[in-house]
Structure 1
Amino acid sequence: MTVRTPGAATAPTEARRSGDPADVVRALDLLAGRRLVVLSGAGLSTDSGIPDYRGPGAPARTPMTYQELVSGPAAQQRYWARSHLGWGRMRSAEPNAGHRALAALDPDLLITQNVDGLHERAGSRRVVALHGRISEVVCLGCRETTPRAALHARMDALNPGWAQAQGEAETRPDGDVDLDDTAGFVVPACATCGGVLKPDVVFFGENVPAPRVQRCFDAVDALGDEGALLVVGSSLTVMSGLRFVRRAAKAGTPVVIANRGVTRGDDLATYAVDVGCTEFLTALL
């Protein structure tokens, strides 16, 4: 367990994690009654049947980068064939008890690195989808945004029997599947301008829009030492999430990390506990 004095801007120490029930209770006690900003990651959606990126036992992932996606039709065919199958499965996922507990807790701001939209479906009101939402599609030409469901229907019509033929492919956390043979899949263009389509999510190689990041920084800054930043289900491997932990710790705001496995922010946390997201959030509620 990592323990720092709440509100102290001390130098980070070597991280130690704990799943001891007493340590979990201490973390819960710290959070109780405080204003909260919550940062959630893929680990929160595993209880909804969506695999995570870096949890215990998770296989290595190599997501397609933005630069690869725009490199030409072959990459776009490979991406959309996989994503078409993954979306067909992901859209049937339901919010779990952890999502519902967060909606009931109603933090000052819920920053999610997830693109599955389950926080919104659970009823959370103040949500920043840091990496966008896979339920929407954007044209890289005219920038028109359209519902993913409409594109899904177009792809079904252009590729009859495709989903049934590839039914055994393993689902991946990016909203796609593990599939090598994508030859023959027909990728539609933008219905308005004929441009290239992509999910309205932030790919590796893209930046999170600056106004989106600033809204999150403002919420973290407003916490002071009387609020707390809670991280659930994120390894904080990428800077898009870790920067908020660094911001809070530098300001002396208590940070609690609840995650299965070590995270990149453990040495900055007031408490870092090895516990399931749903278990921790329902106990906090």
Structure 2
Amino acid sequence: MSQRVLLCSLDGVRPDAILACHTPTIQRLAREGAHTWKASSVMPSVTLPCHTSMLRGVDVPRHGITSNTFTPLARPVPSLMDAAAGYGKRVGFFYNWEQLRDLAAPGSTKISACYGEAHLFESDQKVADAAIAALQSAALDFVFVYFGHPDEAGHAHGWMTEPYLKAIENADACLAQVLKYWEGIVCIVSDHGGHGRSHGTDCAEDMTIPFILHGPSIAAGRELTEPIFLYDVCPTLAHALGVPACREWDGRIVVEAFE
């Protein structure tokens, strides 16, 4: 299998929040593709540890990053972007929370853009605009798009509040714009959820995340029943890209999602 893959990470977005507001793009992808609203994050359910697990295919005890401050891994684990680039794939990385920069080794991305201002509502639109500009100018095989404002809205106003739900609706609209310029597999996932005005615990509101796959070779209209963990994203998308799994990865391919 060798498909183009776009991974969209929605920071801090709970599955029940997606279903509680106007998210036609995400809900359509779930309905038409393979999905679960019951995937599991990792502990601590915090942005950098979670994204490290998402992109490096291992749980937190293996990569050792337990806060939003990056520390070099004692035993390096290649990220999905590193593995894809090493296999000749052209990688794009578009995000608005600068601490994610270490998810790719220097030289792994063909095009990248960061707007370190996820606290601003309009910053997710800037991420979408950068991704669209890149897709119009370069042939990319793996694209990672990160929308960070929903998490910021949760911290500022509370999870499940109107500003938080509006941030998710905006991320959905931004994703819809990007998808106009994309042909291939799309994966939608969140790093963690949240409750009150925070997250980081092992409660269900923090740990339960969406996982959606849509596109060529993906089972249509399938609700996934097997347990799915955040670190399964990495080997699953490598499989879709036709990139051999790295021996350091502990996650598994979500085979149920494929036809």
Q: Give the TM-score, by structure 2 length.
A: 0.38
Specify which structure has the bigger relative contact order, considering alpha-carbon pairs within 8 angstroms and separated by 6 or more residues.
2
Q: Give the TM-score, by structure 1 length.
A: 0.35
Q: Which protein shows a greater Rg?
A: 1
